[in-house]
Each structure stands twice: as structure tokens, then as C-alpha cells.
Amino acid sequence: MGLDGASGSAAETQKLNFEEQPDSREFSCAKTLYISDADKRKHFRLVLRLMLRGGRELGTFHSRLIKVISKPSQKKQSLKNTDPDEHCSQGDFPPREGYVRYGSLVQLVCTVTGITLPPMIIRKVAKQCALLDVDEPISQLHKCAFQFPGGPPGGGGTYLCLATEKVVQFQASPCPKEANRALLNDNSCWTIIGTESVEFSFSTSLACTREPVTPVPLISTLELSGGGDVATLELHGENFHAGLKVWFGDVEAETMYRSPRSLVCVVPDVAVFGSDWRWLRTPITVPVSLVRTDGVFYPSAFSFTYTPEYSARPGAPGAPAAPAADADALLESIHHEFTRTNFHLFIQT
């Protein structure tokens, strides 16, 4: 793993060692990547090159743009421009409405596993000291510390600390010059920042290729146009190319490439998903996915729903008697033409 535009030196790239997790997934973490002081970029991307155990390259994956922070924020956040906090509730910790302020009791919760830490007091940090008398709203890019409640009076308090990949407790020392401060070490100081995850989904089980799976196409939005037999669906996203086809469930759609951010396809007729579609009362929903010409499959979080017009089965109880053969054929022909053009024919008797 490295940074985009890096020279590839050992200081700018890092080899990852994957460890198998209890859920059979493999996990790795890059901890020593950094940007040198001579690098004047304001944004960068993380670049991950994955290789299979046999030596074949799986692909090169890029993160989204990451902003470089030149120095810690010194601003004070006001209630007018603070976003509401999203509270997590676990166990006996009661969430409260309003804004999170320094001195508040908070709880850290893992959104993936649900594991929680004990409730702690969040403190603002300045010059390696925890400020015990500050109650202003917290803000992004602020440095903070998490103090465990309790402890002997007059002591510095116990704080959450990260030491060699383990979470431990650090005993702070009272500041000799100011009573409302506690001296911390580097591993007890945390920075409030926003984070983002990027997921890539693909399957090579049916592929007949040794080419990398990247760049992975990502769908962001769908836009439907027209109706009946001439309905089209436009896919907006990124990393599109002419070698991609849109699939509705297990049905391939006629696909036209417009740009790296746009694909257009013809919506398949609902009849391909079942011969009894005319008599169904419930909608038909199928997943929308992309397939590369060599068989690499890219699923998406999107689906397409058909809502066919309900008609009574011929011969069903309550159905009107069938007209003469010639009249029936004529009406069927007219009805087909009206349906094809997204109109509906009603017969009044």
C-alpha cells in the first residue's frame, strides 16, 4: 500500500501482512504511511495493490480523496454550526439529546461488532494536557482524551491509552502549575476526525481471464426514462467502460456506453421473468449488476422493480365470458398496441 504519485520508496509504501479473522475474512492495517514535510499536496489517495498467493495480480484499488491537514484546528465550535450527534445506545448507557460537550460522559461503540468501552469523560487536550474545566462543544480536528470516571481526589485521573496495538489505561499526573490540568503521554491523546470506507464487490468464479478486476465499476444513481417496450435505464457512477453489460437478475440487457460515468441500457420485458407475469398482483424486483465481457461479475446495491398491470386469468371465477374469436383477436391486437405505447384500453359494456 502507498500514496498516489509516490516514488515507490520503502518510506512511502508498506507491505501488508493479512491475518485471518474468526469469520474467515482476512484483515490487515497500514500504520506507518505518511506525507513528508516537502510534499505540498493538499489531497492524496491511498493505493492498494493486491496480489494472490500464486503471484497473480488481483488489482489496484484506490481510496477517495483524502485532505491533508497541515496543523491542528484551533477554532472553537459554536452551537450554530455544529452538526447533531448520532447517539449509539448499548447496555445501561442512557443517550441524551443535544450536543456533545467536553466534560460529557460518552461511550465508544464499534459499529461493526457492537463492542463497547465503558462510559468515559471526554476532555479537551492542549499542549499535552487534559483541560478539566472546559465545557465547550467538541469539534472536528480537536485533540481530546477519554478519562475513566472515579479515581482518588487530587490525582491526575486514568485515561484511555493505545500501546502497541492494545488498549490500556494510563495514569496521568496532575499539572504542577495549574490544578485544572492533567499531564498526558502521546498515546493518550486522540484526534476527532471524519472517516470513510470504500467497498469493492466482485466475483471471478465464472470469469475466463487472468486480467485484474480493477477498476471496479461503481453505480451511484439510476434514472429511468420512457415506458412499455421502450423503457431505458441510465446508470450514473464511475469506472464505466465499453466492456460492461448491465444485467437484470439473470437477464442481460442491451447496453450502450456513453462515458466513464454513464451507461444506458434497454429495460428487458417483464415477460422474461415468468410466463404468468400478467396475472401477478405483487411487483417483481430483480437485482441490477454489471458483468465484464470476460465474465467478471460486479454486484451492486441497486434493484429494479416491475409493476405489471393486473388482469384476471381467462376462465377464472368472475371473469367475463370470452367474445367471438375474431373480436377477441382484434381486441388483443389493439390492447397490445396500446400497451406497447404505454397507454391502456378500457372496454365499457
- pLDDT tens digits in sequence order for the chain, 349 residues long: 888 876 555 446 888 888 888 888 888 888 778 887 788 888 889 999 998 888 889 999 999 888 887 665 555 544 444 343 433 444 566 777 778 899 999 999 988 788 899 999 999 999 899 999 999 999 888 999 999 998 777 678 999 999 877 889 999 999 888 888 999 999 999 998 888 888 999 998 877 788 999 999 999 999 999 877 789 999 999 999 999 999 999 999 999 999 999 999 999 988 888 766 666 667 889 999 999 999 999 999 999 998 866 555 555 555 555 444 555 566 666 656 555 555 544 444 4
Residue 188 phi/psi, 5-degree rounding, is -100, 0
Output the CATH code of domain 199-324+333-342.
2.60.40.10
Whole-structure pTM value = 0.67
* Spatial distance between the Cα atoms of 223 and 236, rounded to a whole number of angstroms: 8
C-alpha 162/C-alpha 145 separation (Å) is 11
Q: Which CATH number is associated with domain 79-191?
A: 2.80.10.50
- Delimit the CATH 2.60.40.10 region(s) of the chain: 199-324+333-342
Q: Start-end ranges of CATH 2.80.10.50 in the chain? A: 79-191
- CB-based burial of residue 154 (10 Å sphere; 0-12 exposed, 13-18 middle, 19+ buried)? exposed
Query: Smallest Cα–Cα separation from 227: which of 269, 192, 193, 259?
Result: 269
